[in-house]
């Protein structure tokens, strides 16, 4: 992973089927799983809490092992698999010197948030937010932070729902520059079949590019 590139990964989820869970498209069915992080909260605004679990798997990736995401619904006091996916959580050795960049999954405001932190002397972090709407999981928010060895910080915050972008530059926690503008997408990105680094935005009035997913 290049130090100058910031990446946010996305994935999509399909409609809940009561008969059987949808098969994952990228991770084999029979793999060993180890739970890394989980969160509980209402994801479809029905007043009933769902659960999201992120697993490490035994399946090899180009950088370590692949991660698997399970989303569960509560039915008759049991957790029933709603959807499973891969891609939104980086592989086990994708964090540079820090190796594993994945830190946690959380649920806030009816949305799933995946958090990463990695790098070495040059550090980066990002949070990407997915919400279930119109019978699909869509990326609605992305926050990317880049910290250089001299403590220069660049923060890119993208609200994909309304297209608003805030780009801040600070040095040793002192704000130097703030840019605000809009970039509305015709269709919000979905979660599945994600290939990182293929979608970028050029910061307004600058040649700097940010890979937001």
130-156 tens-digit pLDDT: 999 988 888 899 999 999 999 999 999
Confidence band for 192, pLDDT divided at 50, 70 and 90: confident
- Phi then psi for residue 199, to 5 deg, are -130, 125
131 is a domain residue: yes
Q: What mean pLDDT is predicted for residues 54-79?
A: 93
pLDDT digits (tens, 9 = 90+) for 97-114: 778 999 999 999 999 999
pLDDT at 5: 35
CA distance 119 to 110: 30
What pLDDT score was predicted for residue 29? 56
Tell me if 93 sits within 8 A of 102, measured CB to CB.
Answer: no
Angstrom distances, CA of residue 19 to CA of 15, 33, 80, 96: 12, 23, 11, 41
In a domain? residue 127:
yes
Residue 149 counted as domain residue: yes
Q: Would you say 55 and 35 are in contact if contact means Cβ atoms under 8 Å apart? A: yes
Whether this prediction's pTM lies above 0.75 is answered by yes
Long-range (24+ apart) CB contacts under 8 A made by 24-30 are 24/68, 24/84, 24/85, 24/86, 25/192, 25/193, 26/66, 26/86, 26/87, 26/193, 27/57, 27/59, 27/66, 27/68, 27/84, 27/86, 28/59
First to last CA, the chain: 14
* All residues at 6 or more sequence positions from 174 whose CB lies less than 8 Å from its CB, including other chains: none
Q: Is residue 116 part of a domain?
A: yes
Least confidently predicted of 18-27, 141-150, 173-182, 197-206:
18-27
**Is residue 141, in this structure, part of any structural domain at all?**
yes
Structural domain contains residue 74 = no
Per-residue pLDDT band at 85 (split at 50, 70, 90): confident
User: Higher-confidence residue: 108 or 203?
Assistant: 108
What is the predicted pLDDT for the residue at 194? 58
At residue 199, the pLDDT reads 67
Residue 21 in any domain: the answer is no
For the stretch 15-29, pLDDT in tens is 222 223 333 444 555
Please give the pLDDT value at position 28. Answer: 56
Which range (65-69, 116-120, 147-151) has the least confidence? 116-120
Answer whether residue 6 is part of any domain: no
**Domains of the chain: total:** 1
Token couple for 47: 């007043």
Task: Name the residue range of residue 102's domain.
Answer: 88-210
């Amino acid at each position: 992973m290049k130090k100058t590139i910031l990446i946010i990964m996305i994935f999509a989820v399909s409609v809940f089927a009561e008969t059987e869970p949808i098969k994952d498209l990228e991770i084999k069915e029979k793999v060993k799983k180890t739970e890394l992080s989980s969160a509980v909260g209402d994801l479809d605004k029905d007043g009933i809490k769902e659960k999201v679990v992120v697993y490490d798997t035994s399946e090899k990736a180009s950088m370590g092992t692949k991660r698997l995401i399970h989303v569960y619904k509560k039915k008759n006091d049991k957790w029933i698999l709603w959807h499973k996916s891969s891609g939104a959580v980086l592989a086990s050795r994708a964090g540079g010197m820090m190796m594993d960049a994945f830190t946690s999954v959380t649920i806030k405001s009816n949305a799933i948030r995946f958090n990463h932190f990695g790098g070495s002397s040059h550090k980066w972090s990002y949070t990407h937010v997915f919400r279930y709407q119109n019978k699909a999981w869509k990326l609605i928010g992305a926050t990317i932070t880049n910290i250089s060895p001299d403590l220069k910080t660049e923060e890119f915050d993208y609200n994909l729902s309304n297209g608003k972008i805030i780009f801040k530059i600070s040095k040793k926690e002192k704000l130097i520059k703030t840019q605000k503008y809009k970039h509305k997408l015709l269709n919000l990105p979905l979660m599945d079949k994600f290939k990182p680094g293929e979608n970028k935005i050029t910061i307004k009035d600058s040649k700097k590019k940010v890979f937001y997913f």
